[in-house]
Structure 1
Amino acid sequence: MDDRGLSTVVEKLLSLSVVVLYITLLTTVLYGGSLPAYRGAVGAQLGERALAEATAEVERAVPPPGRAAAASRRVDIPATIDGAGYRIRANGTHLLLVHPDAEIGGTARPVLPDRVGNVTGEWDSGADTVVTVDGAQGNLTVRLGARG
């Protein structure tokens, strides 16, 4: 019995098995460790950037002294961060980013003139968001809300 033709088939099957094992190992390492950590870091950075841009828009919405005390400004925020919806909420003096992932979030304080007494309201991601300013010249209120 001559088995010389079988040895090349076995060699090819072993080579193919090593390649499949390598690809499986590489995929497991990437999807199990590196990629989720990278996605989390990118989500945290996007959250910080969205909060910073929202804070800047709130600061720009306040009209200069002596101008009409009513203003409204449309604000664009990302629809999702890391594949999930979120909210930006005002607590009187600060803006807070609230996200289902605990690693994504933060707080920012807009630099507003003394005539702004309060910052209230909330933005939901994916909504058509606006910031409005109204009140008497000496006591303005900034409100986050949806257009409509």
Structure 2
Amino acid sequence: MSDDARRLRRTGRTGRTRRTRRATADRGLSPVVGKSLELGIVVLFIALLTTSFYGSIVPDYRTAAAAEVGERALVGAAERVESAVPERTSRLDRRVAVSLPPTVRGDPYRVRAVSNASDGTTALVLDHPDAGIGGRVTLTLPTRPVDVSGTWRSSSESWAVVSDEGSRLSVELQNGGRS
């Protein structure tokens, strides 16, 4: 018997030839391969979207939102300091609590007082580990000379301590519990 005749010889109970069996197996495998390729393309598409979102869009949005939260916290702190300093008084020792968010974009930050000697203004500056988050608010204080100094850390309680030093008022930014 020749090789072709052997290949075409019927085998088993199904009556199919070996060549027919291989073709049937190949046809049965085609849908599986097609679905696997479709699934691979979908997974690749999702990976591409996830990478683009978390690579640029989401961090940029988080930084912008955190900068806004930081600016609001800074303005609120400035309002508390300004309201702690009275316009007129003969003797004064005052301690005002200042509420700051504990973190901005998941990181603690500092608020510090900065005085500009050239124009006599004082500002509160927000220092954050992320360079995109920060801010500066100039304080509007009464005409009486006021010295503002100190730093608040967001991770602990914050106080504005106002004291009378004769001709000047002193405001110190302090952290910690009430003493």
Q: TM-score, normalised by structure 1?
A: 0.91
Distance in 1 between residues matched to 2:102 and 2:145, nearest whole Å: 28
Residue 32 of structure 1: which of 28, 50, 55 is its match? Answer: 55
Aligned counterpart in structure 1 of residue 134 of structure 2, from 102, 105, 128: 105
CA–CA separation in structure 1 for the residues paired with 2:102 and 2:174: 15
Question: Which runs of no fewer than 5 residues in structure 1 stay unpaired?
Answer: none
Query: How much has 1:42 moved relative to structure 2?
Result: 1.3
Give the structure with higher Rg (CA): 2
Quote the offset at 1:121 in angstroms: 0.9
Q: Which residue of 2 aligns with 1:146?
A: 175
Task: Return the offset for 1:11.
Answer: 1.7
Partner secondary structure for residue 142 of structure 2: coil
Instruction: Give the structure 1 partner of residue 17 of structure 2.
Output: none
Query: What residue in structure 1 maps to residue 32 of structure 2?
Result: 9
CA contact (8 A) 1:69 1:137 kept: no
Does structure 1 residue 74 correspond to structure 2 residue 103?
no
Q: Secondary structure at the match of 1:96?
A: strand
Where does residue 156 of structure 2 map in the other structure?
Answer: 127
Instruction: Indicate conservation of the 8 Å contact 1:70/1:133, yes or no.
Output: yes
Segments of structure 2 that go 5 or more residues without pairing to the other structure are: 1-21, 116-121
Q: Which moved more, 1:22-31 or 1:84-93?
A: 84-93
- Alignment identity in percent? 45
User: What is the total number of aligned residue pairs between the two structures?
Assistant: 148
